Chains A and B, each alone.
Chain A
């Protein structure tokens, strides 16, 4: 293989590995702007990955599986929203419990069930795919990748231009002020979480029925935490958050490609590489920027 082919391979696989992160990051971004530092994004992705394969296997349709995965994400978000923004349980505790619960549940269920593999269809645009280096990355991908191209501007528009987004930002900055302006703070936060669940679900489902075609135990392997890191790395701006996802995706692709390129390294160490990179990136970029002022602060009317 030529060097150009190698680069094309790494870029293409980097793009594919970025997709689940980018889906989920669009969701996590919204949740955090509304003031929820949502760590159950890992549970949303893992649950969705399992759900998508289970439903795809049952119905024979990977697309229905993908939709089912998104709904699993929404379900996790719903539980999280009720527990932390209605019953007012500490959001980190809820997130940790959900992550552990979904990991245990899916690990058990996969041992007692057998699923057939399914994958959503691939878009393969002739001529364009033959463009050197970037051709395979941009024009040979499974279809949800192109859905992502719609989700990103939609997320931006929702947060920056819609009234819902304005209220969301207000809630994340100063819930008391939002409350006296007549905005239902906890309702907005629950809604933001649902959007997060939908997109994290799509991301997790894509990992299973898009990328791999099957489910294995703990297949997200902490990608949800990378998503949180990406939002922090992105200083709570969507564009930079997505750049963070691309960086982490490429790091992941490098890890997979290195052995094929003849570089021998301890594989466990390589698995740690993207996380190490996330830590370094946050150390360098995240300190100077301003987070939503009420991030991770619960709201209850009557308390100040």
Chain B
């Protein structure tokens, strides 16, 4: 455990080095959040009765999403890992006394957390200060918040487990950039990154909710806003646990096969 903590510390202080990048990231995400909310406001005005969530829920959804972008979005890949695979540096990784899957998993989690911690607080703070329809609202109850927290970490797990599979596919195919982009964009779309799932047409939504991507940002964000609560939330969290396990197992299995291949080919 200590070594994972050390990993996290390094990543965190690394990300602190880039203060201007952090500041710029915050400004970007903040502006992005505003624009998203304004767009939804226009649609809300066009026809309030067709709006599938409450407007304040959408505002909260977007603020939390922007604040924790680095946690939720698949496309924050670890470029180091892609490079290690394509330039053969992976050979070094294999001689270290750490399980490669765990190491990469931990590294991804650490990097995402490090990025998010630095950026989330100021964004959330400002989101609390803007005038009401745009303002972020707090979860309805302490229980709701607890459920959100749980779901939040599970979604991080699901996202990272999914990216692990993308890395392993890179092993097999030395996959061109395109595949990574497609893998990230489809996942993020189906996770509700562009449009929350309630805005999907019924059939598309029914399908999307069954996919593992719904266990990504969709779940914690909707629990936070109160769009999903109580027993339904518990069920959702159960589904997240299920997908997390499946992706984790699948990733480990694929990694094992991939490493065998590396060893056989002599890396």
Q: Do A and B bind each other?
A: no
